[in-house]
Amino acid sequence: MLRVGVNGYGTIGKRVADALAAQPDMEVAGVAKTTPNFEAAAAHRRGYAVHAALDERRPAFDEAGIPVAGDLDDLVRASDVVVDCTPAGVGAQNRERYETHDTPALYQGGEDADAVDASFNARANYDEIAASDAEHVRVVSCNTTGLSRVLAPLEEAYGVEKTRATLVRRGGDPGQSDRGPINDILPDPVTVPSHHGPDVNTVLPDLAVDTMGVTVPATLMHLHAVNVTLETEADADAVSETLASESRVFVVPERARVAGPAHLKEYAKDAGRPRGDLWENCVWGASIAVEGRDLYFFQAIHQESDVVPENVDAIRALAGDADAAESVVKTNRALGVGS
Amino acid sequence: MLRVGVNGYGTIGKRVADALAAQPDMEVAGVAKTTPNFEAAAAHRRGYAVHAALDERRPAFDEAGIPVAGDLDDLVRASDVVVDCTPAGVGAQNRERYETHDTPALYQGGEDADAVDASFNARANYDEIAASDAEHVRVVSCNTTGLSRVLAPLEEAYGVEKTRATLVRRGGDPGQSDRGPINDILPDPVTVPSHHGPDVNTVLPDLAVDTMGVTVPATLMHLHAVNVTLETEADADAVSETLASESRVFVVPERARVAGPAHLKEYAKDAGRPRGDLWENCVWGASIAVEGRDLYFFQAIHQESDVVPENVDAIRALAGDADAAESVVKTNRALGVGS
Amino acid sequence: MLRVGVNGYGTIGKRVADALAAQPDMEVAGVAKTTPNFEAAAAHRRGYAVHAALDERRPAFDEAGIPVAGDLDDLVRASDVVVDCTPAGVGAQNRERYETHDTPALYQGGEDADAVDASFNARANYDEIAASDAEHVRVVSCNTTGLSRVLAPLEEAYGVEKTRATLVRRGGDPGQSDRGPINDILPDPVTVPSHHGPDVNTVLPDLAVDTMGVTVPATLMHLHAVNVTLETEADADAVSETLASESRVFVVPERARVAGPAHLKEYAKDAGRPRGDLWENCVWGASIAVEGRDLYFFQAIHQESDVVPENVDAIRALAGDADAAESVVKTNRALGVGS
Amino acid sequence: MLRVGVNGYGTIGKRVADALAAQPDMEVAGVAKTTPNFEAAAAHRRGYAVHAALDERRPAFDEAGIPVAGDLDDLVRASDVVVDCTPAGVGAQNRERYETHDTPALYQGGEDADAVDASFNARANYDEIAASDAEHVRVVSCNTTGLSRVLAPLEEAYGVEKTRATLVRRGGDPGQSDRGPINDILPDPVTVPSHHGPDVNTVLPDLAVDTMGVTVPATLMHLHAVNVTLETEADADAVSETLASESRVFVVPERARVAGPAHLKEYAKDAGRPRGDLWENCVWGASIAVEGRDLYFFQAIHQESDVVPENVDAIRALAGDADAAESVVKTNRALGVGS
Ligand SMILES: NC(=O)c1ccc[n+]([C@@H]2O[C@H](COP(=O)([O-])OP(=O)(O)OC[C@H]3O[C@@H](n4cnc5c(N)ncnc54)[C@H](O)[C@@H]3O)[C@@H](O)[C@H]2O)c1
Ligand SMILES: NC(=O)c1ccc[n+]([C@@H]2O[C@H](COP(=O)([O-])OP(=O)(O)OC[C@H]3O[C@@H](n4cnc5c(N)ncnc54)[C@H](O)[C@@H]3O)[C@@H](O)[C@H]2O)c1
Ligand SMILES: NC(=O)c1ccc[n+]([C@@H]2O[C@H](COP(=O)([O-])OP(=O)(O)OC[C@H]3O[C@@H](n4cnc5c(N)ncnc54)[C@H](O)[C@@H]3O)[C@@H](O)[C@H]2O)c1
Ligand SMILES: NC(=O)c1ccc[n+]([C@@H]2O[C@H](COP(=O)([O-])OP(=O)(O)OC[C@H]3O[C@@H](n4cnc5c(N)ncnc54)[C@H](O)[C@@H]3O)[C@@H](O)[C@H]2O)c1
């Protein structure tokens, strides 16, 4: 039983904790949180040991009636592996502390690639990471995870000459009411290509990927408008099958009449999924089209949850407990991914 | 075991079906749906007998691979009670059909009060409806339900001289991507007072309630800014306790740091509630204030789900199976309301 | 000719500068800006002397090709009066500097009432301010200005027993793309009553006004849902006439089919108004309703521009150049208010 | 003096009317409108003869106090050319009526290409249309106009091998408060490539253009994420100059710190442009990038106004009064395009 601590219990952290708790080979050593808000109370009700990430906030937890299991060092000591889910940039600052305790750690996509030993995506480079000495590993961001999951199989099946993708990004997560824009469509970043292409290269080094980022006033999911110039011709049906055979890609059938992310979320809620999460890339079947060697499709990426199964797999890769295929099947089964 | 059919399986219908299935004394006789989309497929996967609401659409269900259990008349025949959850105005047209089969029916808040025998809210008039001959009963709308749940206890505890409420309404439900506005704040209706006050009077006849409606570009919940001039003075703490003792009112504590509906939904998802539903009125504890006899507070109303437990109770009121207190406890326990 | 400097050239500042330039008895001494962006370039193209508000940014203006007329002290020296239009809270810090130069100044609604000698609204207290020694005067905020303009005449005509208003506020101005929320309806502030009522009392001291603030994802205008309990009965037509006779209140006729702020802005753009500004309160005629002594109506407030004519008047009040009636007519005529 | 009638006085029609009125060689014969709302009143105040587009609505105009100059046939009779600006699909139905009067007509982008004799864009095919017999001509849509204006010069300067563009479209115009989505990012259409590429081919027949459409909850402008594989290499500066030398393309300099469409609209309003219109494509200079022969850039397209100067030019092309260069200069000067 691998004891895993979660530092940072927000959008990603709470999902990772629940995903760990659902695994047969892992248990949640505890979670660390800065603020004793409703999310901290929920963590306590779920039975997680709640640690105060900042010592000075401990009295606030007491006032809020949330028992504190210890501080952050206590959490690291109690953990075989730590998953750092703190805000972008904070993770890199925490690395030293984990190293002090000689505890391997995962970081999220908000950290720079060069702040860690290696970057990870289960479909792209699980076995490579498992075979390496890397102890401080970054699970790539939601957008990069989404791109890697489709580009890896397309590269294998047809070869990828070049990918051009426009990432239409949600402005904030559903729970983030202090983010905007309210009524704008922002080139973000204005400079092209965006950092997302190079980020794909941290897990799939040899792919040519140019990306453009746009931010819009919506919260549910990102939408990717993807063009892939293949090396060999393929028809749309073949591509559809290639993608559908991936366990973390859901090819949405036309008959489902899914107009967009809002319907996808409705679908996930109807299916009884925890928090209405969609761990899989959602590719519109009706959008898959090929013009010559140019493949096009739309996919929606649930930013809050697509990296969650990847974090679970990354822990096994670090721990050396399973190979890629075993881990992915185990994770998927425990969470209900692909079903 | 009461067999209940659900006609119309959209936002309200699917929630009502699941709520019925969770009751110890009810079972879902089947659901009727017009379009074989992803929601119909989900109904089938949940094990509900799916009926084609429109005969001419039956082939479409076949094509979509969704087995059809029969037509709408078959569903009515199989049901002791029907809950009509079709779009506003359609329910009234369906009444004749239910009468032909001599089957009592519930309708939703989109129907006019005079299209039915009586209007219902569990907190306001359960026993009255149970004692009456009413067979075609309307569960009042989400906003009216929300107002009734707080006004009934305030009237009992302090007397209500006059209520003035501004209802800041969500423009559409999360799954409705064809509704607006995108960037506007609409007086809706422009005329004042709005129909919501008189609608409260269909279940609480003697209350003076003036309402103003506003529609805004948000989807999660309605927000009510409520003023109640009480007949007797009361301090904010007393009012807070009065409201908190209601099983379908949740007084949000200040320490939870809940800024608005988005946080409330996050809370519901963290609590593992189905579809992230919030069946209770959510009153901000920090907002409860009294100036003289003028009480003020904010409450958020989850339009998709607050009427769901009311529908369950209304069935028991129609069937004469339980009194108000028994039914409410049974419904709450089965769904997890208030916990 | 009164020389007026404008410190802070954003949403309010640029409109104030143009309004001053349009007056027969004023001229723009110059404007001070922190950042040499497109707005600074526009100020230069309009012929305003552009001052660098922060010395260290001067080189940035040079790089951007925007000639710098001097620093902030130069601007104050060149001005008989300064209108401070810097972000909320900055104005109060600037007061000392204006005092050093012995230059009277106006401040905006983002400053606290007690940071200034007096607060101002032309309809509420022009003559009082003109008669006083106040040299550092705050023009009350957009919402407070909007409330004062209707409450003053209602008090005079019918007496106001109590006002209760829900202010449904735009989340950010049209040009502010970094503000939210994207999909929420926020009690803001959560505590009731909000600060807006007491702010009305800085210019209309004896009115009983309770306000509740709500923030929504829209940018065009605020919408006020207003209830006024009058001291004497009045019918809706009389109230409509009372409001329509105010030069800065526009009672929108029903036949215009104006659904909300977006239509109002369209109307202003069709009328050729600069920046599509609506300096007047826009009260929906169809919404004016009276129940007993309870008056209700909706009004929309253009946050970017309603305080602009008030700033012009406040300058004359400070300078002692005209009485209220004269100034208001002069300002209105120069800008086109009410036409 | 060419007498031009405008049938349909909404978003496009009112702008076209004002643009015609500003031309030295044209006059507005009148405008036809279906509903006597605030826009009709504005037309009357501007001095346009208002015709009732539907006979049965004439009394409604009388009631609203808007004098009616005649019916639609009267307008056509009074016009040398009609510009049809009715909603998508209505224009095609009107063609027969214009033909009855033997009056040439322009149509807008909402009509199908095969409902007209020819499609028009000033930069792409003015001289061709002028030389042809076409009498019923469609000005291509806002998005197609936006693409044509940059692809024509790129084709001439470098050759275009293939264009791939993602069109992130505004969900509705600022004045359309009944449109959505509120919180979604819709593939629209879901099928790829979208109709926009073939539409470009109606004015630039030989270009390879694949487009993907996405609709988002914003109203101000469309944003295009454009990739053009050039036939010859070019560096970013050269492309920037190529685009900047186009009179209807505005290359936004980096120093202007324009983050997105909201800032662009602010810029237009600061510049005193009527209705804050932006007739030009707005290309972010900082986004222009070249990787090998792959050119990338972002451009924002003001859907309400970019087709307006094109309509003016198309009238001259129909009337045979000027060649492309003359007309474009005349139009630009009269409106202030490019200044
Ligand atoms: N939200 C997404 O869409 C998304 C998707 C993929 C990856 N990520 C990445 O995941 C990481 C976490 O993002 P999130 O969206 O979950 O953020 P979040 O803000 O929702 O949660 C962060 C958590 O960390 C806590 N925290 C804040 N400061 C801290 C500190 N100094 N020390 C310890 N804990 C602190 C907060 O209390 C909160 O519980 C980031 O690197 C982000 O880039 C986010
Ligand atoms: N959504 C809310 O916020 C809300 C809240 C409270 C009450 N209500 C009321 O509940 C009722 C249902 O609303 P909803 O939001 O669930 O609507 P919905 O559109 O989500 O669902 C309606 C369902 O009825 C089906 N349907 C459509 N036309 C039909 C017809 N002619 N015959 C049979 N079925 C038909 C649709 O397929 C769909 O399954 C309305 O009266 C509404 O006013 C809605
Ligand atoms: N925008 C509104 O809706 C609105 C309405 C009424 C009143 N107000 C009040 O008007 C004031 C200005 O608000 P705004 O919306 O115009 O703000 P803004 O941010 O649009 O403009 C502020 C300007 O001040 C400049 N500035 C920033 N920091 C400065 C500093 N330290 N010194 C000098 N200049 C500085 C900025 O460059 C900018 O030009 C605030 O008090 C605000 O509360 C705003
Ligand atoms: N709005 C845009 O972004 C945009 C951009 C480019 C092209 N277009 C195209 O321009 C055309 C007009 O669009 P719009 O946005 O101006 O529409 P709109 O709805 O704003 O205006 C249409 C006008 O036509 C009138 N009208 C309605 N029905 C009519 C009828 N049966 N006969 C005569 N008049 C009628 C309406 O009263 C209104 O004045 C459409 O083809 C549209 O596709 C629109």
CA distance C219 to chain B (A): 7
pLDDT confidence bin for B339, thresholds 50/70/90: confident
| Binary contact (B223, C210; C-beta < 8 A) | no
- Mean pLDDT to the nearest integer, C180-184: 98
pLDDT confidence bin for B259, thresholds 50/70/90: very high
pLDDT confidence bin for B321, thresholds 50/70/90: confident
Question: Which helix (H) or strand (E) segment is A335 a member of?
Answer: helix A324-335
Of the CA atoms within 13 Å of residue A66, those in its CB half-sphere come to 31
Q: A39, A108, A303, A305: which to mutate for ligand 1, most atoms within 8 A of CB?
A: A108
Average pLDDT score over chain A: 97
pLDDT in the model for residue C5: 98
- Identity of residue D304: E
Q: How far is the CA of D255 from the centre of ligand 2 (A)?
A: 52
Q: Is the pLDDT of residue D321 over 90?
A: no
Structure-token pair, residue C97 = 């500097």
Give which of C66, C60, C1 is closest to C31, Cα–Cα. C66
Determine which residue's CA is closest to atom 38 belonging to ligand 2. Answer: B10
Interval A166-222: pLDDT, tens: 999 999 999 999 999 999 999 999 999 999 999 999 999 999 999 999 999 999 999
Q: CA D122, CA D129: separation in Å to the nearest integer?
A: 9
- Mean pLDDT to the nearest integer, B298-313: 98
The domains located in chain B, with CATH, are 2-139+307-335 (3.40.50.720), 142-301 (3.30.360.10)
Contacts of B68 (CB under 8 A, 6+ apart): B50, B51, B52, B58, B61, B62
Indicate if ligand 1 lies below 6 Å from the C-beta of A301. Answer: no
% of residues, chain C, pLDDT over 90: 99
Alpha helices in B57-182 (DSSP H): 58-63, 72-77, 90-100, 122-131, 142-158
Average pLDDT score over chain C: 97
Interval D115-154: pLDDT, tens: 999 999 999 999 999 999 999 999 999 999 999 999 999 9
pLDDT confidence bin for A339, thresholds 50/70/90: confident
Interval D260-269: pLDDT, tens: 999 999 999 9
Give which of B296, B294, A32, B217 is closest to C213, Cα–Cα. B296
Q: CA A275, CA A15: separation in Å to the nearest integer?
A: 9
Atom of ligand 2 nearest to the CA of B10: 21
Atom of ligand 3 nearest to the CA of C94: 32
ipTM score here? 0.97
Atom of ligand 2 nearest to the CA of B34: 37
Q: CA D277, CA B80: separation in Å to the nearest integer?
A: 62
Indicate if ligand 4 lies below 6 Å from the C-beta of D35. Answer: yes
Q: Is the pLDDT of residue A293 over 90?
A: yes
Measured CA angle at A174 (ends A171, A175), to 5 deg: 115
Q: Can D85 be counted among the known catalytic residues?
A: no
- Most D CBs within 10 Å, among A168, A184, A302, to test the D interface: A184
Contacts of B213 (CB under 8 A, 6+ apart): B166, B167, B169, B187, B188, B189, B194, B196
- Mean pLDDT to the nearest integer, A4-20: 98
Which residue from B minimizes the CA distance to D218? B182
Measured CA angle at D299 (ends D293, D301), to 5 deg: 145
What is the number of helices (H) and of strands (E) in chain C?
Answer: 12, 16
Average pLDDT score over chain D: 97
Q: CA C115, CA C134: separation in Å to the nearest integer?
A: 12
Which residue from B minimizes the CA distance to D184? B177
Radius of gyration of chain C (CA): 20
Q: What are phi and psi of A94, to 5 degrees?
A: -80, -20
DSSP for C94-162 reads: HHHHHHHTT--EEE-TTS-GGGSSEEE-HHHHHHHHHHS---EEEEPPHHHHHHHHHHHHHHHHH-EEE
| Binary contact (A193, D260; C-beta < 8 A) | no
Query: Which stretches of chain A sit within 8 Å of chain C by CB?
Result: 171-172, 174, 176-184, 186, 217-219
Interval D61-105: pLDDT, tens: 999 999 999 999 999 999 999 999 999 999 999 999 999 999 999
Residue C284 near residue C240, CB atoms below 8 Å: no
Contacts of A22 (CB under 8 A, 6+ apart): A334, A335
Q: Is the pLDDT of residue C321 over 90?
A: no
Ligand number nearest to the C-alpha of B7:
2
Indicate if ligand 1 lies below 6 Å from the C-beta of A11. Answer: yes
Q: How far is the CA of B90 from the centre of ligand 2 (A)?
A: 9
- Identity of residue A40: A
Give which of C336, C338, C331 is closest to C314, Cα–Cα. C331
- Mean pLDDT to the nearest integer, A95-110: 98
pLDDT in the model for residue A152: 98
CA distance A172 to chain B (A): 12
Residue D57 near residue D34, CB atoms below 8 Å: yes
Chain C hits for A262, CB-CB cut-off 8 Å, are: none
| Binary contact (B257, A35; C-beta < 8 A) | yes
Q: How far is the CA of D223 from the centre of ligand 4 (A)?
A: 21
In this structure, chain D runs to a length of: 339
Give which of D136, D115, D156 is closest to D242, Cα–Cα. D156
Interval B119-177: pLDDT, tens: 999 999 999 999 999 999 999 999 999 999 999 999 999 999 999 999 999 999 999 99
Alpha helices in chain B (DSSP H): 11-21, 38-45, 58-63, 72-77, 90-100, 122-131, 142-158, 196-201, 236-244, 261-270, 307-319, 324-335
Helices A307-319, A11-21: axis angle to 10 degrees equals 60
Torsion of CA D2, D8, D9, D15, to 10 degrees: -50
Interval D174-218: pLDDT, tens: 999 999 999 999 999 999 999 999 999 999 999 999 999 999 999
Give the full edge-to-edge strand order of the sheet including C105-107.
C70-71, C50-52, C26-33, C2-7, C81-84, C105-107, C136-139, C118-120
Structure-token pair, residue D91 = 């224009």
| Binary contact (B182, D184; C-beta < 8 A) | no
Output DSSP code: residue C281: E
Question: Which helix (H) or strand (E) segment is C210 a member of?
Answer: strand C209-216
Which residue from D minimizes the CA distance to B180? D180
Positions of E strands within chain A:
2-7, 26-33, 50-52, 70-71, 81-84, 105-107, 118-120, 136-139, 160-170, 186-187, 209-216, 222-230, 249-252, 281-284, 289-291, 294-301
Give which of C209, C205, C238, C248 is closest to C226, Cα–Cα. C209
Token pair 């208002």 is found at: D50
CB pairs A-C closer than 8 Å:
53
Q: Is the pLDDT of residue A321 over 90?
A: no
